[in-house]
Structure 1
Amino acid sequence: MGKRNERGLLTLLVCLVLGVGLLAAALGASHLGGSRRAAAEAADGAGGGSVDLQELPPGPAEPPPTGPDASTGTVTVDCGRNEERHFNEDNLVVSPGLHGGAHHTHSYVGNLSADARSTDASLAAAATSCRGGDRSTYYWPVLRRTDRPGTHPQERAAGHGNTGEILSEASVSVEFHGNPASKVVPMPRFLRAVTGDAVAGTARSDADVRARWGCSGLPDRSTTHYPRCPEGDRVTRTLAFPSCWNGLDEDSPNHRSHLVFPAANGVCPQNTFPVPQLRIRLAYDVTPGTPLAVDSFPEQRHSPRTDHAMFVNAMTDAQMASVVDCLNEGLACRT
């Protein structure tokens, strides 16, 4: 009976030792897996997860005009490329009145007074970088290179993990396009608009992801990752805005429902009206291999999918009428 008890105790001890070993191994594997995931996520946020654009196939072409009512013109608004170094950590559209409400730095062209405290009246009275007098404000999060520290006070102002030298835009293209299915109507003055999803890195859906990254020499290809471009090409960001207005509101509680995107064929949803579609295209002189990071909220880890832009239309009624006429008449205009 004693020997049987001894054998039972020995068996129990062996099982305990094996169990502890297996548990330690499992915990170690879990920790290693978690570390690898964290490292991969950090790399993807801080410039990793990039793709060679030359390896991607061309993207789908824009829908062709579908009838005699198509508005096929374009209007280019010359607003410079932020030579004035107009930066702040505000977001007039999403968090008006809240200084530093963006928690990252925005770069601007157009209205030179735009910040969290701006009102319709102050925008209408301010100076502008646009040659034709458009006082609208166009803005987006800055792009940084993380291998160089920021030396200017503005580069260190954002905090929240947004560090590094801010890359100056080599070019900024502000364009309005028509609608492939119908004529467009004027935007209301002081319309607010948002494109892209600043929280796409943690969102459950990609429905609001709109930013496209690319290379200047490969205009028919784009990605939602940081692009690796051929030597001599510029890195590009293209941000297209929604263009179907509900006909009533200059803004909405979520800053989206009053102005939505058309269907793939350009047709606007029922009870909305096509307005000029804004497209902002940014280009940067970047040496291949430079680590890039778009400013973001801390939990978004600088994911390129979070790229976004905002717009407040401060054109006069006469300026907007000229844009609409150019688009509806199929002309190529510049202001």
Structure 2
Amino acid sequence: MPGTAGKHRISRRTKIATGVMALAVAAGGITAATTFGASDQASADEADPALYIDILKVKPNNFEPANSRGASTGTFTVDCGRNENQHFNPDNFVAQPGVRNGAQHLHDYVGNLSSNADSNNKSLEAAGTTCKNGDKSAYFWPVVRIDTGDEEKNPPAKSPDGDRDQAAQAAASPVITCPDVASRLPDVPDSAMAEVNRNLDLLDTQIDEANKRLISTRGQGGPNFVQNAILGPLKDKRVATIDRMAIAIGRTAAKPQGLDALAPCTLKEQAGTGGNPASNGGGAPGGAAQQITCPDVASKLPAVPASAKAEVDRNLQLLNTQLQEANQRLVSTQGQGGPNFVQNAILGPLKDKRVATIDRMAIAIGRTAAKPQGFDALAPCSLGQGGNNGNNGGATATPPLPGPDANNELPENDGRIQRPAKVGITFRGSAAGKVVAMPKFLRALSGDAKPSINGTKNTRAAWTCTGFENRLTDKYPICPEGSKVERIHDFPSCWDGKNTDSANHRTHIVFPDRNGRCAAGFTAVPQLRTTLVYDIPHDIQVKKQYKVDSFPSEKHNPLSDHDDFANVMSQSIMNQVVNCINRNKTCTA
């Protein structure tokens, strides 16, 4: 359950800037050892000193809601290590699928070994994991660095690992996807648990075998070969497997009905999306060859009068939405029309929308200050293409974003990377009642990486010190001697019951209210809490020489801290999570 936190003020040095999506050269995994910088003069790219606070000056503000009768109070903790294998990249397949270096800052990864910009459901499923219980989920967050100005550079980038190569190959072929069964099961009696979990594992095995056969028989048979030789037999196996689970549950409880409807599976072409029928098209693209990019507007604005700020912010957000919708249309209409289709059907209308939106901002500013001139020149957008400039109605290719340099440093994100001393990944219950299984391939976000653009609606105070977890702050904490810097990321836990993703990656799974209750139409699933503890020397804290990686526009604002998750647990592991939580147990895997 999330802690209670009020609205947060953005640093005076944080600039408003629109997020521009662009393609970049691929960044492989990055190697970085954990050391502590010397106490010396801070470099030119330190975080604003005003963004640090003594944790003792933060009042207690993080309280759990009272448990109602029937609350689920169990916890399930997964050991996925501390990124000892040094899996880093500046990608984010949850928030910016298919955009290499889309994050413009490095992420720390644990769990799934193949996580990168091109990840999709199938590639994630094919990869290995650092989690001891076999959980293939992806967990990732921005790295923290010590920035003293004299630390050694991070070692050169390592080659992409075998899992990443294997996953990329797997993502290129069609995939068989099946409805999630674990999330549709009722409460499983203890007497049936072993048999149910055994058959949930068998369902996963059956899908894996069917996908392998799909690859090995490619090109064989007629138009109905896949249906008759693979999907049909798979359905029959699933009917029998699901029926065994229903019978096992029915021995000591009400036998679940209608589960046979979950038996049929479907074939999806891998047009960049690894699917799941439960996802309703919410899977992440496996690779985006093209991306629309637009000139930055916010950074070109003059000082915005207080009377115009709300309207300007609203229209800046609208520019982002317009760009996102245009990129989505670019994907959905791929291959349609003639050589001028993109220009006439997407880029042209997008320009018209941007002209009107930009003009509204200029008018708002002009009511109480000088009206900015010449902003219409920022309206036209262009189509960039990674590694290949195609003929798309004469659109101009956009230069790639700068990638990591020879020492793995990214622009405006430098300093010595700090590996967490401790990583805690725990799934928790609901104060209002039982939880249900989250569907496989569910995506979720905690926090917002661009508060200067998006506002503070989705930001979360995440910083604290060990021993002071009831005090969360949106600033970098300075901890007492013997206490360590800590980040606590709570994820939303009220699922809409249908989608594994949504256009803004948020509306399909939201936070409960302050009493721990989900809104109408939403159901509680296990809530993920990630805790990250760092051995940052006390003098480094006092000298304000540590910071989190961020988009350049955020200037290392700690309010931009965020976390990402994609559920790739097997159905049996998810079933163990749910039953542990609903039985109020404390489990570790």
Shift of 1:267: 0.5
Partner Cα separation in structure 2 for residue 320 and residue 264 of structure 1:
26
Q: 1:300 aligns with which of 538, 554, 560?
A: 554
Alignment of 1:1-335 (within 5 A): 45-46=47-48, 48-68=50-70, 70-147=71-148, 148-153=151-156, 156-200=407-451, 202-203=452-453, 205-290=455-540, 291-335=545-589
* C-alpha separation in 2, matches of 1:172 and 1:164: 21
Report the AA paired with residue 96 of structure 1. Answer: P
Rounded to whole Å, the distance in 2 between the matches of 1:91 and 1:234 is 28
SS in 2 for 1:198: coil
Question: Alpha-carbon deviation of 1:54?
Answer: 1.6
Give, in whole Å, the separation in 1 of the partners of 2:90 and 2:490. 22
Give the AA of the match of 1:268.
Answer: C
- Aligned residues: percent identity? 45
Letter in 2 for 1:66: S
- Supply the AA of the counterpart residue of 1:238: I
TM-superposed CA distance for 1:168, in Å, is 1.1
TM-score (norm 1): 0.84
Residue 38 to residue 111, structure 1, CA distance change in 2 (3 Å): closer
Q: 1:120 deviation in Å?
A: 1.2
The AA in structure 2 aligned to 1:159 is L
Alpha-carbon separation, structure 2, partners of 1:317 and 1:311: 17
State how far apart, in whole Å, the 2-side matches of 1:303 and 1:93 are.
Answer: 21
Unmatched 5+ residue regions in structure 1?
A: 1-36
Residue identity matched to 2:47: G
The answer to whether the 8 A contact 2:46-2:147 is kept is no
| 1:59 Cα deviation from its structure 2 partner | 2.2
* Distance in 2, Cα, partners of 1:228 & 1:40: 25
**Could you say what secondary structure the match of 1:324 adopts?**
helix
TM-score by length of 2: 0.49
> Cα 1:271–1:39, aligned 2, differ >3 Å: closer, same or farther?
closer
Aligned-partner SS, 2:423: strand
Deviations 1:261-308 (A, max 9, x none): 000001001101110000000010011242111111111000000000
One-letter code of the match for 2:77? T
State the AA in 2 paired with 1:216: T
Matched position secondary structure for 2:102: coil
Q: Which amino acid in structure 1 is aligned with residue 503 of structure 2?
A: P
- Quote how far apart the aligned CAs of 1:128 are: 0.7
The one-letter code sitting in structure 2 at the alignment partner of 1:321 is N
Deviation of the 1:89 alpha carbon: 0.8
SS in 1 for 2:531: strand
Cα distance in 2 for partners of 1:48, 1:286 equals 19
The residue identity in structure 2 corresponding to 1:312 is A
The alpha-carbon deviation at position 44 of structure 1 amounts to 8.5
Given residue 135 of structure 2, which amino acid in structure 1 is its aligned partner?
D
Q: For 1:112-137, what per-residue CA distance to the aligned partner results, in whole angstroms no more than 9, with x for missing partners?
A: 11111222112112111100000000
Q: Deviations over 1:20-73 (max 9, x none)?
A: xxxxxxxxxxxxxxxxx65999999345421111222222421121112x1110
Name the CA distance, whole Å, in 2 between partners of 1:39 and 1:198: 13
1:194 maps to amino acid = L
Is the Cα–Cα contact under 8 Å of residues 160 and 297 in structure 1 kept in the other structure? no
Deviates more, 1:38-47 or 1:97-106: 38-47
Distance 1:38 1:190 in 2: 38
Larger mean CA deviation between 254-263 and 93-102 belongs to 93-102
Paired AA for residue 53 in structure 2: V
Secondary structure of the residue aligned to 1:45 is: coil
SS in 2 for 1:124: helix
Per-residue deviation at 1:217?
Answer: 2.5
| Structure 1 residues 147-184: Cα deviation after superposition (integer angstroms, max 9, x where no partner) | 13533235843523011111111000000000000111
Question: Cα 1:265–1:288, aligned 2, differ >3 Å: closer, same or farther?
Answer: same
Whose strand proportion is higher, 1 or 2?
A: 1
**Could you tell me whether the CA contact under 8 Å between 1:211 and 1:237 is conserved in 2?**
no
When structure 1 is superposed on structure 2, of 209-218 and 175-184 the one drifting more is 209-218
Give 1 or 2: higher helix fraction. Answer: 2
**In structure 1, how many angstroms separate the alpha carbons of the residues matched to 2:547 and 2:104?**
15
User: What amino acid does structure 1 have at the position aligned with 2:576?
Assistant: S
* Alpha-carbon contact 2:15-2:554 (below 8 Å) kept: no
Structure 2 CA distance for partners of 1:254 and 1:210, relative to 1, 3 Å = same
